[in-house]
């Protein structure tokens, strides 16, 4: 099998449609919800209705959250471009419009990707249409998800959850929350499972919403679980603790969501590059693609370097998604895409602010906002440093215990 580095023809209409939505629906309200933190963007309800219509007609493949699934033998299921590739393409275009608004879209939560990756067939059907946030991070647990201390204890037909989760994207607005908790702390990573906790479940409460540097349109919650009782059928996937498998079930979620976050960074950085090129041209600085960078102005040379970095991030994003569609293990590639795009996205948006001077720093343009929004994309779903650690372990063939 070979990957084609061009956007697949069958997804180009979806990509172009997403771009039109970003330009005509998200950009015009971008500043409004940046200044009105925690206010729900009502305009998104109409957009979701449109996506539902696309999905029902069969024309919207990739419009919703996709998952990473592999067949029993791990063999390729054929050379195909599927929903993972379509998702990263459409997400990149939507984030060309606004990252915070994309993260605020109903039924497109990171928890939906967890359900798509880990749930069994019955659960996939039961939770179809839910808007799921994902609760992983805890106050005493930074990037090492294996140290999760939120507990889940089986009591009859229910699990009892206790613990605190922080930085839960869409934690207040979502219909349900996918909560990562341990069945037995002494068994380490293998005992960590994910549970779907529906809104209104007694014992789950939103403690507060965070005030943030960027993505202000998106609500970010602290959630407390105090003897929260959840039906045992809401444990995603198998309840069995397989020590030999380790963290693999839970990590399948990240194999899916990391390319999605890479796509967000790719889209936001592209927005900054497009606007910066226009502003440079208005100032008399023309980027000439037919001349070497050393033979152009410093601003043009910097712009060319940023575009080449951006292209590398985009291709890594596409590769990770394509591998998921073709049932290939993509943990290494997902982390490479997330590491590259997260770093490059932040570097590009801040460099564009710098290149555009007073226009870049003022609220007259969206450049300063994109600089703020992009920073989170290098942090959540595993920080830059964690991604580099994962990549190093995979390449060197070392375990987490051998390389910390």
Residues 6+ apart with CB under 8 A from 373: 98, 99, 100, 214, 215, 268, 349
Rounded to an integer, what distance in angstroms lies between the CA atom of residue 368 and that of residue 372? 6
Using CA of residue 214, residue 91, residue 103, residue 380, what is the dihedral sign? negative
Q: Which of 75, 354, 381, 402 is catalytic?
A: 381
* C-alpha dist (Å) from residue 46 to 110, 205, 373: 21, 28, 24
Q: Where are the alpha helices (DSSP H) in 209-247?
A: none
Question: Is beta strand 176-182 parallel, antiparallel or unpaired with respect to 132-135?
Answer: parallel
Strand partners, 194: 180
To 10 degrees, the CA torsion angle through 243, 245, 249, 252?
A: 140
Rounded to an integer, what distance in angstroms lies between the CA atom of residue 224 and that of residue 85? 35
Q: Within 10 Å of residue 178's Cβ, how many Cβ atoms?
A: 29
CB 337 within 8 A of CB 372: no
Strand partners, 199: none
CB 349 within 8 A of CB 272: yes
Rounded to an integer, what distance in angstroms lies between the CA atom of residue 112 and that of residue 133? 7
Question: DSSP 3-state helix, strand, coil percentages of the chain (rounded to 5)?
Answer: 50, 15, 35
Q: Is 354 a catalytic residue?
A: no
Q: Within 10 Å of residue 304's Cβ, how many Cβ atoms?
A: 17
Residues catalogued as catalytic: 381
């Amino acid at each position: 099998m070979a990957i084609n580095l061009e956007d697949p023809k069958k997804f180009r209409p979806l990509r172009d449609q997403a771009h039109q939505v970003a330009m005509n629906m998200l950009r015009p309200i971008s500043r409004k919800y940046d200044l009105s933190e925690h206010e729900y963007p009502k305009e998104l309800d109409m957009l979701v209705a449109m996506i539902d219509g696309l999905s029902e007609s069969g024309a919207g493949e990739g419009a919703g959250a996709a998952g990473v699934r592999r067949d029993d033998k791990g063999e390729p299921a054929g050379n195909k471009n599927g929903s993972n590739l379509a998702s990263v393409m459409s997400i990149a275009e939507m984030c060309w419009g606004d990252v915070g608004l994309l993260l605020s879209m109903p039924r497109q939560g990171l928890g939906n990707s967890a359900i798509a990756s880990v749930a069994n067939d019955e659960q996939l059907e039961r939770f179809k249409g839910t808007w799921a946030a994902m609760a992983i991070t805890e106050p005493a647990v930074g990037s090492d998800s294996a140290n999760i201390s939120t507990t889940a204890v089986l009591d009859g037909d229910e699990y009892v959850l206790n613990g605190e989760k922080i930085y839960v994207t869409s934690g207040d607005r979502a219909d349900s929350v996918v909560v990562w908790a341990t069945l037995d702390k002494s068994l380490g990573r293998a005992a960590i499972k994910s549970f779907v906790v529906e809104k209104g479940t007694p014992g789950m409460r939103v403690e507060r919403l965070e005030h943030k540097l960027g993505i202000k349109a998106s609500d970010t919650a602290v959630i407390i679980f105090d003897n929260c009782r959840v039906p045992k059928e809401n444990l995603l996937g198998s309840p069995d603790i397989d020590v030999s498998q380790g963290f693999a079930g839970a990590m399948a979620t990240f194999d899916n969501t990391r390319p999605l976050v890479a796509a967000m960074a790719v889209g936001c950085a592209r927005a900054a590059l497009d606007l910066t090129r226009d502003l440079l041209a208005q100032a008399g600085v023309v980027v000439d693609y037919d001349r070497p960078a050393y033979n152009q102005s410093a601003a043009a040379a910097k712009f060319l370097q940023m575009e080449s970095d951006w292209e590398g991030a985009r291709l890594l994003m596409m590769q990770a998604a394509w591998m998921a569609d073709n049932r290939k293990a993509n943990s290494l590639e997902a982390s490479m895409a997330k590491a590259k795009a997260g770093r490059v996205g932040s570097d590009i948006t801040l460099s564009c602010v710098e290149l555009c001077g007073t226009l870049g720093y003022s609220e007259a343009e969206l450049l300063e906002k994109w600089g703020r929004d992009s920073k989170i994309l290098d942090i959540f779903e595993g920080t830059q440093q964690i991604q580099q650690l994962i990549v190093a372990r995979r390449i060197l063939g070392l375990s987490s215990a051998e390389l910390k």
